[in-house]
Structure 1
């Protein structure tokens, strides 16, 4: 059961009053809009020519040929299979780091959950 003496009713539900006071003094809500811009940029980078999506599809085609003996479906004039895998892993690590940063910026909002 929620202790209502420590909560405030808002248009978006009950929140912990102490956490709300803290966030009102320290949380920059415009940072959420910057995250939206970063998400848009990441989504754009993940699609299109030479995007992460296209690189993974090319890696699949190369792997399918080398590992499964399938016919070639992409050219051999670009990077090697290990080089492409390395590029993709680096890109995914950068994406994961960016996502961890977003999570850290959003986590203070979890303090608004009323204590039970």
Structure 2
């Protein structure tokens, strides 16, 4: 199986021809947008990071007998945990779609015998 030299290293020639006909490179830009969305959902104030810190305080109080760290206006421990799990599951699905979209580029790996 021959390889083709590109400005970014050798690639498998057959895979290159297949992907030139089928791979939409704009999908990579959509993944960049996805990463920006994830970054916002994870790190911004009131994002998953803060939710996890709040959940830790709640769990630390309930499970370890620590002092109360947040008021009664917060959601219940179980509701907070369920909300975070759902959010993380959603992020995992988003990342799995990104991996699926990028996986075809791995086919460009050059053969060793060329």
Secondary structure of the corresponding residue to residue 24 of structure 2:
coil
Q: For structure 2, list consecutive stretches of 5 or more residues without a partner in the other structure.
A: none
Matching residue of 2:68: 72
CA deviation digits over 1:47-104, x for unaligned, max 9? Answer: 2232111100000000011111111111121210000000000000000000000000
State the number of aligned residues: 112
Could you list the runs of 4 or more consecutive aligned residues of structure 1 that deviate by over 4 angstroms after TM superposition?
Answer: none
Matching residue of 2:25: 29
Q: Distance in 1 between matches of 2:12 and 2:53?
A: 47
- Could you say what the CA RMSD is over the residues aligned between the two structures, in angstroms? 1.0
Establish whether residue 39 from structure 1 lines up as the match of residue 35 from structure 2: yes
TM-score, normalised relative to structure 1:
0.92
Secondary structure of the corresponding residue to residue 46 of structure 1:
helix
TM-score, normalised relative to structure 2:
0.94
Q: For structure 1, list consecutive stretches of 5 or more residues without a partner in the other structure.
A: none
Matching residue of 2:104: 108
